[in-house]
Structure 1
Amino acid sequence: MYSSHSSASMLSDVFETGKFTTQLQTIDSPVDVPPPKPLLIATPLEAGDFPVLLFLHGYLLSNSFYSQLILHVASHGFIVIAPQLYTVAGPDISDEIHSAAAITNWLGEGLSRYLPPNVKSNCSKLALGGHSRGGKTTFAVALKKLNTITNLKFSALIGIDPVDGMDKGKQTPPPVLTYIPHSFDFDIPAMVIGSDLGELKKNPLFPPCAPKGVNHKDFFDECPKPSWHFVAKDYGHLDMLDDDTKGIRGKFTYCLCKNGESRKPMRRFVGGAIVAFLKAYLLADDRDLIAIRDGHKNMPLDLKTIECYV
C-alpha cells in the first residue's frame, strides 16, 4: 500500500479547486446544430483555448451526479462534456458506443455555440473518459467496437472503475476484455482508477458493483504503453459522485455499492488524478502525475495500488 503520508516531491494543487472560475450548463432543448444527446457542460469562464474531455456516466446514473467532479476538472483549464446517454438501458452498450461517437463527431461543429464568450475548445487535444459502464464504453470506442469511426482523434483515455459485466465469462455485449495482457489495440495513453471496495458486496441481495474478473485490474492489464493504474484504498465504486445525488436514482447510489466514509476524498482524488493525467498527455506537463506515482503527503486518500506501464 502507498500511503498519502509518504514523503515525495511536492504536488501542485490538482486535488484542490483550480484557478479558473467555472460554469455548468445543461443543453437539452432543440437549437441550431443540436447535440445528439442532452449534455452537461463544465467550462472555465476566463478567455482561453482549452482541451476537451468527453466523460460518460455510469450505469443508470444521471450525468448531473458528476457535477462536482467535472467542475473540479474544468477549474484547472479543461472543458468537460458529460452527455446523458440514456435513462433506461439493458445490458448491451451498443447504443452508447454509437452515441459517444456521434457526440464526438458533433463537437467540432456544434460545441462552440454553447461556450462562454472568448472560451474556445481545442478539439485537437481531446480525451475520452467514463465511469463504470461508461468506462467500458470509453474503451469500446477507442477499440472501434462495432466499426465505430470518429472524425476527431482521442489523445488520452480515462476509465474510472470500469466494469465489463457481471463476471469473467459473463461480460455484457459487446465484450471488451480479452484476458490477453496488453492486447488493447490502440496507441492512446490510458489511465485506470479503481476502488478498493468496488469488488465487495454491499449486501447479499446484490452483486458487487465492480466484480473481480471484469474490473479496473483487468482493464489495466490489457492496456498498452503508456498506461497508469491507481486504486483508492477504503473507497467504493460510487464514491466519486456528488455529495448529494437527487431523486430515486440518487438515493440508490448510497444503497447498491459498498461505500467509504464520505465521497469528498475519493472525488478529490479522482478529479486531481484526471487533471494530472490530462496535463501530462494533453499539455506535456507530467510533474503532477509523476508526483502522484511517487506518493504525496497531501493526497486526500491512501492508495492501495500504484502501477505504471510506460
Structure 2
Amino acid sequence: MPPSCFPTTASDVFEIGKYKAELRRVEASATSPAATASCATADRPPKPLLIAFPADAPGEFPVLVFLHGYLLYNSFYSQLIRHVSSHGFVVVAPQLYTVAGPDTTDEINSAAATTNWLPRGLAGLLPPQVRPNLAKLAVAGHSRGGKAAFALALGKSATPLALPFSALLGIDPVDGMDKGKQTPPPVLTYAPRSFDLGMPVVVVGSGLGEVRKNPLFPACAPRGVNHADFFAECRPPACYFVAEKYGHLDMLDDETEGLRGKATYCLCKNGRAREPMRRFVGGVVVAFLRAYLEGDDAALMGLRDGHEVAPVELQKVEFLP
C-alpha cells in the first residue's frame, strides 16, 4: 500500500466531507428530443445515470462507477454516493435495468458499456471546473451489483473494457440464492484466493444479511454466496469489514419511494436505523479510495488498527497485505 502522505484521520471519513456534493440525473441515449437538447453538448450514456460530483471547488477528481442492487433504483443510494462525493470523488451510478430475471449477463454488459462511455461523455456532463480523472477509476457494487462489479473486473463482459479499473469494492455482494444456486454467470468458484483481479479489493458485509426477515422469504445475503465467500477468493491486497447488527439494505437512503422503496424495509432483516450503516459504508469507501487512488492510507489503517471509531459495531476486520 502506498505510504500515507496527507494529514487525515480514521473518523473523518464517516462525516460529510469538505466539498458540497451535487446530484445530476442524465437520461440514456434513447430519450426525448427535449431531454437531449438540455444536454446537447454531451455524448449521451448507454444507460440512465445518477452522477454525484464536488460542485463548489475546481479540481480533478477520481471516478467511482457504482452498480445498484437487484431490482433497486440508483436513486436509493443518493445519500451514500453524495457522502462519497463530498470527500472529492465523482460517482457515476447507472440504472442498469428496471426489471430483470436471474441472469446477470445483460447488466454486466451494460456496466461495461457505461464504463467505456466515460472517456467520451462524462466530462461534458460535469461543470467545467470539475475534471474527472479516469486514470484513477474504481468500480463498486451492492448486492447483485457487487457480483456484477466483480464480474466486470474479472473480464466477464462481452465487450472488453476500454479503461482499466484501479480498485474494486464489493458492498455486501451476493452471487445467487445458495451454493450451487448461483445466478448466471457464476462468479464464485469456491477455490480460495482464486480471483485474479490485479487490483486491491475491499469487501463490506452485513451481519444480518444472512438472517431471514420471515419464513416466507429467503435471506437477502445467504450463506454460501455472500460477502464471506467473495472475500475468501480475493488475493492481497484486500480488506474485509462486517457490520454486526445491520442488514443487507441498511446502506440505502432513509426514504426510498414507491413499492420497491417500501419493500426494502420488508424483505430483509434490518438494523435499528440506516444512518449508521450508511455512514460506515460511505466511510469505508472513502478510506479505501483514498488509500489506493490517492496514496493516503491514514484513514484505512486507522480502521484496521482502531476500528472503535466506526459508527457501527464490527463483527470482523481482516486485512490481506
The partner residue of 1:197 within 196, 203, 208 is: 208
TM-superposition CA deviations, 1:137-175 (whole Å, max 9, x none): 000001111454111110000000000000000000000
- Are 2:136 and 1:121 equivalent residues in the alignment? no
User: What are the ranges of 5 or more consecutive residues in structure 1 without an aligned counterpart?
Assistant: 1-8
Find the counterpart in structure 1 of residue 293 from structure 2.
282
Q: For residues 14-25 of structure 1, what are the structure 2 equivalents within 5 Å?
A: 14-25=13-24
Contact 1:236/1:257 (8 A) holds in 2: yes
Q: For residues 14-53 of structure 1, what are the structure 2 equivalents within 5 Å?
A: 14-28=13-27, 29-30=35-36, 31=40, 32-45=42-55, 46-53=57-64
TM-superposition CA deviations, 1:58-105 (whole Å, max 9, x none): 000000000000000000000000010000000000001111110111
Q: For residues 118-197 of structure 1, what are the structure 2 equivalents within 5 Å?
A: 118-197=129-208
Find the counterpart in structure 1 of residue 219 from structure 2.
208
Local SS of the residue matching 1:218:
helix
CA 146–118 in structure 1, closer or farther in 2 if over 3 Å, else same: closer
Local SS of the residue matching 1:278:
helix
Q: Aligned partners of 1:218, 1:238: CA distance in 2, in Å?
A: 19
Instruction: Give the counterpart letter for 2:176 in structure 1.
Output: G
Find the counterpart in structure 1 of residue 83 from structure 2.
72
User: What are the ranges of 5 or more consecutive residues in structure 2 without an aligned counterpart?
Assistant: 1-7, 28-34
TM-score calculated relative to the size of structure 1 = 0.95
Contact 2:9/2:298 (8 A) holds in 1: no
Find the counterpart in structure 2 of residue 93 from structure 1.
104
Local SS of the residue matching 2:80:
helix
Q: Aligned partners of 1:117, 1:255: CA distance in 2, in Å?
A: 42
TM-score calculated relative to the size of structure 2 = 0.92
Local SS of the residue matching 1:201:
coil
CA 103–146 in structure 1, closer or farther in 2 if over 3 Å, else same: closer
Q: Aligned partners of 1:186, 1:38: CA distance in 2, in Å?
A: 28
CA 217–113 in structure 1, closer or farther in 2 if over 3 Å, else same: same
Instruction: Give the counterpart letter for 1:20 in structure 2.
Output: Y
Instruction: Give the counterpart letter for 1:224 in structure 2.
Output: R
Farther off after superposition, 10-19 or 161-170: 10-19
Shift of 1:296: 3.7
Where do 4+ consecutive residues of structure 1 move more than 6 Å?
Answer: none
Number of residue pairs matched? 302
Contact 1:100/1:141 (8 A) holds in 2: yes
